Amino acid sequence: MVVDDQPLWRDAVERDLAQAGYSVVAVAANGREALARFPAARPDVVVLDLQIPAPDGVEVTGEIVRQDPSVRVLVLSASGEQGDVLAAVTAGATGYLVKSASREELLAAVRRVAQGDPVFTPGLAGLVLGEFQRRSETPLDPAEPALTDRETEVLRMVAKGMSYRQIAERLVLSHRTVQNHVQNTLRKLQMHNRVELTRYAIERGLDAD
């Protein structure tokens, strides 16, 4: 599903996705249309501009992720401002690209986001994780659910930015098994996406060698 209030841009993104073999199940020009069409369209990935007529992209992201936690939201915005990026990720976006990204970068981002991998325009990932680290001043809870050794091992690799496929190859596991480990870890920690999981791992130093 493609959501953007600029017809030329929306049509171009839709065309690029269709040419790459993706099925565009819906388009919308504003937040109201996006929320109205989402339940029937049930897209796997939503490519969304933040600066759209109300409700804006952050509100739309939060609402569609609430309706369907499995949906992946890739923000495609003209803004690379820290506040916009953090608001989108906090609302549940899996990825964030600025509109200066090339067609190839967009298609690669859609492919990775569909797999559940967080994708950011270079420089933004560190900003997001750094900010979440600074925000977290909560002491560790000794009653936190225990992770298995394998789940911890997978979590370390997630924290280092490795994709599911790379983790599967490193541990000689199937892609599906790695996904299951991540889903189990998310459920145990009561988290919703890999960005939150990565933040958790970095806060605990699991990204260090």
Show the 3-state SS of 12-51.
HHHHHHHHCCCCCCCEECCHHHHHHHHHHHCCCEEEECCC
Backbone angles phi, psi at 27, to 5 degrees: -130, 155
Alpha-carbon Rg of the chain, whole angstroms? 17
Q: Mention every residue, 6+ apart, whose C-beta is less than 8 A from residue 1.
A: 24, 25, 26, 27, 28, 34, 37, 38, 41, 43, 45, 46, 47
Shared-domain flag, residues 8 and 92: yes
At residue 17 the predicted structure's pLDDT band, cuts being 50, 70 and 90, is: very high
Decide which of 90, 123, 156 is a domain's last residue.
Answer: 123
Q: What is the pTM of this model?
A: 0.64
Q: What is the pLDDT of residues 51-91, one digit of tens each?
A: 999 899 999 999 998 899 889 999 999 887 877 888 888 88
Q: Residue 28 pLDDT > 70, yes or no? A: yes
Domain count, the chain: 2
Q: Is residue 209 part of a domain?
A: no
Domain residues for 58? 2-123
Specify the CATH number for the domain of residue 97: 3.40.50.2300
Shared-domain flag, residues 117 and 168: no
Contact between residue 35 and residue 55 where contact means Cβ atoms under 8 Å apart: yes
Shared-domain flag, residues 119 and 161: no
Torsion of CA 18, 93, 118, 139, to 10 degrees: -170
Q: What is the pLDDT of residues 129-157, one digit of tens each?
A: 665 555 554 444 555 567 888 888 888 88
Q: What is the mean pLDDT of residues 111-119?
A: 89
Shared-domain flag, residues 107 and 170: no
Q: What is the pLDDT of residues 91-104, one digit of tens each?
A: 889 899 998 889 99
